[in-house]
Chain A
Amino acid sequence: MIEPVLEFKRVSFDYKSEPLKDRVPILEDINFSVNDGEFISIIGPSGCGKSTIFRLITGLEEPGAGKIYRKGQQAIDRLGRVGYMPQQDLLMPWRTVFENAMLPLEIKGIKQNEAEEHVLKLLMDFGLKGSEKAYPGDLSGGMRQRLSFLRTILSGSNILLLDEPFSSLDAITRLTMQEWLLDQWQKLSKTILFITHDVDEALFLSDRIFVLSQKPNSLIKEVKVPLGRPRRVRDLGNLDVITLKEALIDELRPRTAT
């Protein structure tokens, strides 16, 4: 049996800073597992705790109850173990493209020449060659996201967490970036968890989709995307996919009290 690379078992979470009586659980009894090399999307209405799942995986937060496993072992010390790409690109404005990409390697304490060589090669692959001395302020939105993704990859981790990375891009750039991301994912053989609020995006990119419903019963529902690989955008016109999309949208729509 293949062991999942990441597993949540009965994980609950609430913000401890609030007084006990006001505490609303952000996540309750969450179970899921992610296999090696999978592309998983997490969708859900805003405020349902999607980003909190990422904060738990990265180790920025500790679960109130339940356990997180990595490769079958309970993961206690989690900081610095997964690549996390936040919603805003969060590039350092005072560092050049090259220096921004170097950041995770500096923190890992990798030797200077070794790191530089590695970064230069990846800058080429990511279409950022020639801009390595530019500052993030000079880059287009798509380039910034590519650099942010490059930095995430350079964390060296097998698991990448991407939090709505393309939400601020225009429709065309976004499509290009989605295709590009799939391309990179296949080349690099990484495991990706991808947060989005866009059902189309989730269907186009993922193997499986985790659906989080509105609080308080934040139960995860799993959906397998009925599409093979490689994919094209027009595959989204497939009848199975359209039916699935409608079902998902129904799921996400806030229920009116009738």
Chain B
Amino acid sequence: MKNLNSYYSSLLVFGFLLIWEAGARAYNKSFILPAPSEIALTLWELRSVLVLHHLPPTFLVIFIGLVLSILIGTGLAIWMNGNKVAEKTFYPIIIASQTIPIIALAPIFVLWFGYTIWSKVAVTVLITFFPITVSAFDGLRSSDKNLKELLLTMGASKKDLFFKLYVPSALPSFFSGLKVAVTLSVIGAAIGEWLGAQAGLGYFSRRMMTQFDGAAVFAPIVLLSAVGILLFLLVTWLEKTLLKWRKTG
């Protein structure tokens, strides 16, 4: 059944690409609407520049951003779970922070951090921080109160409760949040690079826009989504490995 599902979605994507190809050829203005075949060709021509020169800095931004988000997000979630005052203080702020248009806020990071990697990391962290914090917190909160009491009757310490109950209870929800976060992290890194960079896939795409090279705008975007998909698959694989029990449940 699962194979059938991916079969249908591949068919849809293929159909969509076909219509795009036909439409682009009919329209024949490749600087506005390049055909998929053109994009593929450009991607092939630019492969060494894109993969060797522009992918590494973008990937570094994504990586540092995600690591920081996970550290800060889970740290805050653990704190809020253990401390009522922290929860009452931070939870509403975290929710409210999502109404701030982060993309509009991004230029200020350039003022603060300059054109260094940190202005891009800041955008990535700001975008990915929310799903990680909220999912980790909800996961921690979802732990069974009866199970907690049972562990207490066995003489469990706070450390026992944390590692044997809270962390395993939080993992399924945490992974859901992480899946959202990794896809967002790619967007965050690309937007960060628009603001100003010397290299990076987002930066390259934007530079090609000014040169009216439509196919070269799309080529790095294809690579960016590939990175997003790969990260997503990596998290899914991690989830399946760590949460083996869920398949059977």
Q: Is the CB of A135 within 8 A of B155?
A: no
Q: B95: CB under 8 A from chain A?
A: no
Q: Determine, out of A16-24, A101-109, A190-198, A247-255, the stretch whose residues face the partner at the interface.
A: A101-109
Contact flags A72-87 to B (C-beta < 8 A → 1, else 0)? 0000000111101010
Q: Is the CB of B154 within 8 A of A155?
A: yes
Tell me the total A-B contact number using a CB cutoff of 8 A: 66
Chain A residues near B152 (CB-CB < 8 A): 58-60, 79-80
Interface range for A: 20 to 34
Residue of A nearest to B171 (CB): A94
Known contacts A90-B147, A92-B147, A107 near B155 by CB under 8 Å = yes
Give Cα A95 to B163, complex, Å: 13
A80 partner, pick from B144, B146, B154, B165, beta carbons under 8 A? B154
Q: B153: CB under 8 A from chain A?
A: yes
CB distance from B64 to the nearest CB of A (A): 31
Contact flags A91-123 to B (C-beta < 8 A → 1, else 0)? 011111000000110111000000000000000
Q: B29: CB under 8 A from chain A?
A: no
Known contacts A93-B249, A135-B248, A103 near B146 by CB under 8 Å = no
Chain B residues near A4 (CB-CB < 8 A): none
Chain B residues near A106 (CB-CB < 8 A): 160, 164
Give Cα A92 to B167, complex, Å: 12
Q: A240: CB under 8 A from chain B?
A: no
Contact flags B130-165 to A (C-beta < 8 A → 1, else 0)? 000000000000001011011111111100100011
Contact flags A41-54 to B (C-beta < 8 A → 1, else 0)? 00000000000000
Q: Is the CB of B156 within 8 A of A84?
A: no
Q: A125: CB under 8 A from chain B?
A: no
| Chain B interface, number of residues (Cβ within 8 angstroms) | 22
Q: B7: CB under 8 A from chain A?
A: no
A86 partner, pick from B150, B157, B165, B168, beta carbons under 8 A? B150
Chain A residues near B144 (CB-CB < 8 A): 90
Q: A137: CB under 8 A from chain B?
A: yes
Q: Is the CB of B153 within 8 A of A82?
A: yes
Chain B residues near A104 (CB-CB < 8 A): 154
Residue of B nearest to A77 (CB): B155
CB distance from A105 to the nearest CB of B (A): 10
Chain B residues near A88 (CB-CB < 8 A): 146
Chain B residues near A59 (CB-CB < 8 A): 152-153
Q: List 9 contacting pairs A-B, 8 Å CB cutoff, sorted by A.
A: A60-B149, A81-B155, A92-B164, A94-B171, A94-B245, A106-B164, A135-B245, A137-B245, A155-B154
Give chain A's interface residues, CB within 8 Å of chain B.
Answer: 58-60, 79-82, 84, 86, 88, 90, 92-96, 103-104, 106-108, 134-135, 137-138, 155
